[in-house]
Amino acid sequence: MAQRAPQIMPPMSDSARPMVRVQNVVKHFPAGFGTTVKAVDGVSFEIREGETLGLVGESGCGKTTLGRLVAQLLPVTSGNVFFEDLELTRLRGERLRQQRRQIQIIFQDPFASLDPRMTVGDIIAEPLSNFRVMRGKKLNARVQELLRVVGLNPYFNNRYPHEFSGGQRQRIGIARALALNPRLIVCDEAISALDVSIQAQIVNLLEDLQREFKLTYLFIAHDLSVVRHISDRVMVMYLGKIVEIADSVQTYAEPKHPYTKALLSAIPVPDPKIQRGRRLVELSGEIPSPIKPPSGCRFHTRCPIARLPTPCAEVEPPLEEKGRDHLAACHFSQDV
């Protein structure tokens, strides 16, 4: 099979229009005793129209928080989020609510994110009636169409979530997210709770829907192999900061940040002959607390190539261009 069909991946020239621009966004949560958890600590990036931008990192790195900031489900502590020319971080009340039609979220847990007392039809219809888009017969027809689009029987609309399997529930969550014809969907660990064979079904469905409805995805997951598969570009986070953003092929072929390299080396490949020959990049120690992140480069306490104390423990490396369309935040990216 050829590389991605052109309709899936528009050429990523410099002219590709950013749909979302995130600038210096910070999100701090109070953690008691006057301390703050620096969940997201000054990140800037853009999501381009029609692409899938992957966001990976380990637990506690701030990826879920960042996804919610993009969708404005959480207010930022500081910084700006633009959706095209509109600054979401300035919107309040009804204007923000109207803007939510453009951005929808699919959540991780298909068991917790669907109200068990509502029928599937009502769950999918809810956003449509909330925004008074349609009602009556037209609404019913739309719900059935959405069920069909996500590969479920359109006559299942009177059933309850408990009658469905995990994979089917995730399809329901997707149908709900599609209801308002959004332009951006934030998929927050949307397939992590599913079995392997079902994951593949949902990944394929998301790819089909993207092509059909010209969707843009921010795809958040901890599983780098799935993220690489579905994404055009991959963004790696560590302790509230973005450490690398690159084309998903580049990310694997030429990682420019030691953390990305370690992450890639840790994922087992389902091929015993190859797996035996792979070398694990060992990270020393544990992930530091986001309440008191390390000075300089936040990764320096675990980095295999850090030069200490200077510059790594003293100077924070900026996220800068290390190759064509390839950003990384490392003082020694040439040594990775």
Partner 1 sequence: MRNLRTQFKTDAGPVKAVDDVSFDLYPGESLGIVGESGSGKSVTALSILRLIPEPGRIVGGKVLFHDQDLLQVSDEEIREIRGRDIAMIFQDPQSSLNPVLRTGFQIDEAMLAHKQASPQAAHERTVSLLKKVRIPAAESRAKDYPHQLSGGMRQRAMIAMGLANSPQILIADEPTTALDVTVQAQILELLGDLNRELGTAIMMITHNMGVVAGLCTRVIVMYAGQIVEQGPVDQIFESPQHPYTWSLLRSIPRVDALRHERLRSIEGMAPDLLRPPAGCRFHPRCPFRIEKCLTDEPRLEEIHHGQIASCWVTMDRARAEMKADELRDISPGAASGLRPGEIIP
Q: Tell me which residues touch partner 1 (CB under 8 A).
A: 1, 3-5, 58-59, 151, 165, 167-168, 195-201, 203-204, 207-208, 222-226, 228-230, 249, 252-253, 262-276, 280, 282-283, 286-287
Nearer to partner 1, 34 or 270 (CB): 270
- Least distance from C-beta 222 to partner 1, angstroms? 7
- Least distance from C-beta 300 to partner 1, angstroms? 16
- Least distance from C-beta 155 to partner 1, angstroms? 14
- Least distance from C-beta 140 to partner 1, angstroms? 21
Please give the Cα distance from 87 to 161 (Å, whole number): 36
Nearer to partner 1, 87 or 271 (CB): 271
The set of residues, in sequence order, having a beta carbon less than 8 Å from that of 51 and lying 6+ positions away, is 9, 10, 12, 16, 216, 217, 232, 233
Nearer to partner 1, 203 or 245 (CB): 203
Nearer to partner 1, 2 or 136 (CB): 2
Q: What are the structure tokens assigned to 86, written together?
A: 């509109």
Nearer to partner 1, 56 or 70 (CB): 56
- Least distance from C-beta 257 to partner 1, angstroms? 14
Q: Which residue has the tokens 């609510």?
A: 97
* Contact between residue 120 and residue 161 where contact means Cβ atoms under 8 Å apart: yes
- Least distance from C-beta 132 to partner 1, angstroms? 32
- Least distance from C-beta 57 to partner 1, angstroms? 9
Burial of 146 (0-12, 13-18, 19+ CB in 10 A): buried
Amino acid found at 156: F
Q: What are the structure tokens assigned to 188, written together?
A: 């927050």
Q: How many CA atoms lie within 13 A of 88 on its CB side?
A: 26
Alpha carbon distance, N-terminus to C-terminus of the chain: 31
Please give the Cα distance from 65 to 60 (Å, whole number): 9
Nearer to partner 1, 88 or 242 (CB): 242
Torsions phi, psi for 57 (to 5 deg): 165, 165
H or E element at residue 114: none
Nearer to partner 1, 135 or 148 (CB): 148
